[in-house]
Structure 1
Amino acid sequence: MSHTGIDLKGVTLRYTAKGQVVEAVRDVNMDITPGEFVAIVGPSGCGKSTLLKLISGLMPAATGTATVGGQAPRPSGQVGLAFQNPSLLLWRTVLQNVLLPLEVSPKHKAAYRRDPAPYMERAKRMLGAVGLGDFMHKHPWELSGGMQQRANLVRALIHQPEILLLDEPFGALDAFTREELWLALQALWMGAKPTVILVTHDLREAVLLADTVYVMTPRPGRIDVQRHIDLPRPRTLEDTFTETFSDIVHELRGHIGGSRTRIRAEELMEVAS
């Protein structure tokens, strides 16, 4: 179980693009408990990925406060990252790719160099759990996109991070592969229980995986809704066809549509005045 929670209070984030200051998110408050699985949804450009940069220590807050495990965010070996592009090293096998974080992690690298066997066994178990047991000695170019993303998830978790940040990791995959990876991610998370933040445009994905879903407004992104998902685990694909599940998805979709309409109305009123 992760011991690292995340607390954002009144956070506003700005960046400069083409000489202009852009306000990405405004007055965001989030209280994520250790081991919680959170999904952030909202329209494109609302600042979801920017929040991940703050939490990972890559971008400071303009105003407000942010703490990760009680401390200011900073780049750390205790954070695992997975993005839409798996970015596996083509000249390394799947197993070698998965073991890469252990070679550089301050927490593990000395022990890994002394005795790599226990770490290799853990990597093999995790690869087996996501269906890659027979492919660990293959190279990335020998795998499908879905298989590469499975390896990417294992690599992000192999060094037992306290926090896992996922930025649309399944967005480039076909629907069937994406659904398979939802279950693989759920299994990996339930085994290790890191604190997870998943940025996604897929509301079914968010509801299936998350304990809590945050809905953001169009830019500057604000938290419009915080929705707890009270569904038993482990969740299955069959659950996504139930009335309860569909009602939650439609509820969240209504909030996203409503926030877009509300923001647009505010913009028109500003122009008219």
Structure 2
Amino acid sequence: MTKNGLVRLEIDGARADVVLARPEARNALNLPMCEDLIAVFEAIAANDDLRVVVLSAEGPSFCAGADMKERKGRDEAWVKMRRRASFRAYETIGQCALPVIAQVQGPLVGSGGEIAMSCDFIVASTAATFRFPEPQWGTVGATQRLQRVIGLARAKELLYTGRVMDAQEAHRIGLVTQLTDPEELSGQVDGIAEQIVAAPSLAMKLTKHCVDAGARTDLAAGIAIELAAIDRLLSQSDWRAGIERFGNQVGGRPDGGKKS
């Protein structure tokens, strides 16, 4: 358990589970939880045995957003410090070199969306809902990640209205990549995590690096990033073993070795 006890880190072989553990407050994000998230992902970065991270939450809610109660009686300097702490938490998640899967089982609001969108992708239950009500609450938030995931106009509409979006719509517009029945959510995520763990670790890390770095530049620069990753892979991994594995799995043929 972390210093503040609001985020739990569980390690099983090559998999790390990061669990938001404040169910009595619907996992609302406060300063101690920000600190715990940062500490947990720093610990993950220091563990060379890990290959995948699953971020989930205790209780029926994924995250009820920022804990507005902790701001009562605070001055502007404290609120600015608190907001910067949340951005550091999101950034620490986003900078994780390993694939990070968000497992969303229920309602997600505001800062909960920032946490989930800082992961590589979201797998959600049909019981999940999504809401970004920051302007309705008299604050500003989710203006950057949300538009990059679902597009400018959709992000504006959700932020301006603060309406609740169901899981089916979130899946349709690309916020959620896979949608499943509530009782099948954990098994679905387990299967994805197992596929990631089974893949060559360096190739997976470099793939994440190339996609993330390439998204911030143009195509030509992105190709240069990928070529540099290929150079590193050829010099630092047993790439011939990967070719052998591919040949054994599909017979070396694009159709999986099946005869027509």
Which is bigger in relative contact order (C-alpha 8 A, separation at least 6)?
1
TM-score (norm 1): 0.29
Greater strand percent: which structure? Answer: 1
